Amino acid sequence: MSLEKCSHNKESFYKYMSASTAKIVLSTKRLRWSSPTEFNDPFDVPRELGLHITPKKIMEAIVERQIYLFKNLPDDLTGYNSKFKTILDALKNNNEPELVDEFITSVRGILEEESPSSFSLDQYRKYWDELIPEMRILCLSESYSKTSMWNHYADGYKGAVIEFLCDDELDSAWKLAKPINYSDDAPFLSTAEGWAKMLMLTQEAAANMLFDVSMYSKSLDWAYEGEWRISSFKRPDDKGSYTDYGFNEKEVGNLYLGPFMEPEAKAALIYEAKNYRNMNVIESFIGNGRNLSFTPINC
């Protein structure tokens, strides 16, 4: 795995889980990466693209987008498909009002002369339908102390949090993590305008935009998670909707135990922790305030 795409300088990330899952993770040195079909939020990574958007609406949006760019020429033409890039190049070399008006008249004529086609839309829908089951995503958090996360993802404070270290020497996968963008704006590809922007790009640029926008954006309702993600794809022989990928024990940092963890589960995790040289076992407690307090355990 190349770290050329590493876009952050974080030293570690955290994974919330139940005590039983933590025991499996530590004993097998494997983490489960899932397809979006396993996610708990149906709005997270859309299962279908362009619902209720007609080809006619998209064509209208494409025309309006082209007119806007004719009047506001972008400095960087990287990513635009060759046909549209040629037009923009021509306007950059000769930005006379008469030529701009000529192109605007030409693209407006498209709506009158050509019947809308759903080919491009259907092509990307088919691509996405086939891609969703192939995806493998690991969700991580930037903090181990979020009480809402302990409640929702660590079995109601009975679970654990494992720290994963971003190790340059080991080419750690966590170095490729990207943060989620939280917004209440309409999802990019739920609008005709979003599709218009994408369909004016090269096939590669459009596919990258489709992937990034769908994978790394969520509603503001989920902002408390402080989530980061790493994305990959299933191996040829993998079955089902998840894959358990291995990790190096040097990539594992501290182990945080929930305040309501059962004694037997706690003992089992402390035993597993002895196999990890970088691991300190840290117990959490419910304090008088609204935060957890943490104290290292001498194992």
The 3 state secondary structure assigned to the chain is CCCCCCCCCCCEEEEEECHHHHHHHHHHCEEEEECHHHCCCCCCCCCCCCCCCCHHHHHHHHHHHHHHHHHCCCCCCCCECHHHHHHHHHHHHCCCHHHHHHHHHHHHHHHHHCCCCCHHHHHHHHHHHHHHHHEEEEEEECCCCCHHHHHHHCCCCCCEEEEEECCCCCCCHHHHCEECEECCCCCHHHCHHHHHHHHCECHHHHHHHHHHHHHCEECHHHHHHCEEEEEEECCCCCCCCEEEEECCHHHEEEEEECCCCCHHHHHHHHHHHCCCCCCCEEEEEECCCCCEEEEECCC
Q: How confident is the model at residue 262 (pLDDT cuts 50, 70, 90)?
A: very high
More confident: 193 or 257: 257
The 10 Å CB-count burial string (b at 16+, else e) for 235-255 is eeeeeeebbebebeeebbbbb
- The answer on pLDDT for 3 being more than 50 is no
- Which residue would you say has higher pLDDT here, 56 or 49? 56
| Percent of the chain scoring above 90 in pLDDT | 47
- Residue type, position 167, single letter: D
pLDDT attached to residue 48:
67
pLDDT at 4 over 50: no
Asked if 276 contacts 26 with a C-beta cutoff of 8 angstroms, the reply is yes
Crossing angle of helices 55-71 and 192-199, rounded to 10°: 60
The two three-digit tokens of residue 130, written as one number: 């086939």
Q: What is the share, in percent, of the chain residues with pLDDT greater than 70?
A: 92
Report which of 285, 226, 277, 227 is spatially closest to residue 253, judged by C-alpha positions. Answer: 277
Asked whether the predicted pLDDT for residue 118 surpasses 80, the reply is: no
Which amino acid appears at position 169 of this protein?
E
| Mean pLDDT to the nearest integer, 244-248 | 95
- Hey, which residues does 231 pair with through a beta bridge? 137
Average pLDDT over residues 199-203: 86
Q: What is the dihedral of CA 214, 217, 220, 221, to 10 degrees?
A: 60
pLDDT at 1: 38
Q: Which pLDDT band holds residue 120 (cuts at 50, 70, 90)?
A: low
Higher pLDDT, 245 or 50: 245
Question: pLDDT value at position 128?
Answer: 77
